[in-house]
Structure 1
Amino acid sequence: MIQWKKWFTGPGSCCLCDAPHRASSWSAVWERVCPSCRCRLHRIDSPCCPRCGRAGIGSLCEDCLTGPGGELERNVAVLQYTAYPRELIHLYKYRGREHLARPLAEMMAERVFSAGIRAEAVTCVPLHPQRLKERGFNQSERLAQEAARHLGLPFIPTLKKVRSTPPQSKSSRWERMAMLEEAFQSSDWKRIAGRVWLVIDDVYTTGATMVECARTLKRAGAQRIYSATLAR
């Protein structure tokens, strides 16, 4: 009896940093995060921009008021993009910690469900083939596959990036939108048309990537497009 209890309740480890943490593998994702990690993660709750998910704003933010983006109904994000989420994403994308996709995507699925978003299919922001070859995997695709599994939805990779774009970290929102124009194509109009889609990516910065993905899906006949990111 004692052995069975240990199997359910510990010893265990944090699902993010692997530090010892007494939490069952059956526990909800936030219960599997150790106190040290939890205090460094700032979850986005109300108030936030109802369109892009920016924290601390109870109405549309300035970017959403002044910029394009009508094709994207709404973005929701789990975490503010502070130092520790940035570190986790870096470990996941570049340091071989690909197993982080599971807990991070579970957080995203929980956020999507609690926000009342009811999509019919999940897709992801694609990488250009050259970038995919360099990195070895698409971090957004792994997150999308896991999130779709938790949401009980099909994952369908409907988007392709057909034009390589330079790094955008130092570009303004308008520069990013110009660079990304016509950079994506939809690969399967029959499966896209008439459906409500959820697009997954790791970080929402200016929204240019999500808006262009939504625009591409809309041209292919999608009914509505929502997006979810780990960080904002």
Structure 2
Amino acid sequence: MLKSLWEAFLDLLFPPRCPVCRTLVDQQGEWCSSCLTLVWAPRELELASHGVTALDACFVLCDYTAGVQKLIRDMKFRKGRWYGCHLTWLLSCYQNYHRLGSVNVIVPVPLSPERLKDRGYNQTEVIFRPWAESRQLLWCDALIRLKATLPQWELTIAERRKNIKGAFQVTRPEVVQDKQILLVDDIFTTGTTMNECAKVLKKAGAKRVVGLAIASGSQ
């Protein structure tokens, strides 16, 4: 009850608006239908064409363009943490979660300690954790990044694989052992990062690893 009153008070002070065009909408985090239409493209990716072998499947919600591209970039490079609620809202729009299988644990792709300190947050956690908790799914930071890597978007595919190799380690093997893992990240580009994470999760005993990302430019 108190939460509802507080949310109603905030809506009066700060009326909910689409994060892209600023049109008034019904609830905080929501996109208007016009801006959503420009990015919304839920699909399962063709992993074989990316040389991704450790992931059992991977799904994305949006094309990495227009408003979703701006929000993710602002979260990553301009400390725009407040945009997270708008990307979390996109998760509430997806209707095919049954395709992910029986998820036991949700694991985020981690940042390096240096990047986490500089940014102040892992944008993947800001986006996905509220959604995970709303669905009563176990969230576990079961991976750490052992080394600071170069930004993947600056590299060729071969350089990305070399850059990311050996970058991750499982810290909670007892949590992932024999479990079905949902590995989450903000963007799927070539899949090298998610693939490397899936490799170490399976080496630690994970039964199945499925990826979920907000956006991708891939098919």
Same fold by TM-score greater than 0.5? yes
Change (3 A) 1:112 1:176: farther
- 1:201 Cα deviation (Å)? 0.8
Q: Which has the higher strand share?
A: 2
SS, match of residue 40 in structure 2? coil
Which segments of structure 1 move beyond 4 Å, counting only runs of 4 or more? none
Q: Which has the higher helix share?
A: 2
SS, match of residue 163 in structure 1? coil
Equivalent positions of 1:123-202 (< 5 A) are 123-202=107-186
Equivalent positions of 1:38-49 (< 5 A) are 38-39=36-37, 41-45=38-42, 48=43
Structure 1 gap ranges (5+): 1-6, 53-59
Structure scoring higher RCO (CA < 8 A, sep ≥ 6) equals: 2
Task: Provide TM-score, normalisation by structure 1.
Answer: 0.78
Change (3 A) 1:90 1:44: same
- 1:17 Cα deviation (Å)? 4.3
Structure 2 gap ranges (5+): 1-7
Counterpart AA for 1:80: D
Match of residue 56 from structure 1: none
2:24 to 4, 21, 33: 21
Counterpart AA for 1:93: K
Match of residue 103 from structure 2: 119
SS, match of residue 130 in structure 2? helix
Residue pair 2:74, 2:80 contacting (<8 A) in 1 also: yes
- 1:97 Cα deviation (Å)? 2.9
Residue pair 2:84, 2:126 contacting (<8 A) in 1 also: yes
Change (3 A) 1:112 1:95: farther
1:215 to 199, 208, 215: 199
Task: Provide TM-score, normalisation by structure 2.
Answer: 0.82
Please give the per-residue CA displacement for 1:43-75, whole angstroms capped at 9, x wherever unaligned. 114xx5x4x2xxxxxxx4xx62462x3320111
Hey, what's the Cα distance between the residues in 1 that align with 2:27 and 2:34?
A: 17
SS, match of residue 44 in structure 1? strand
Match of residue 72 from structure 1: 55
Hey, what's the Cα distance between the residues in 1 that align with 2:71 and 2:107?
A: 22
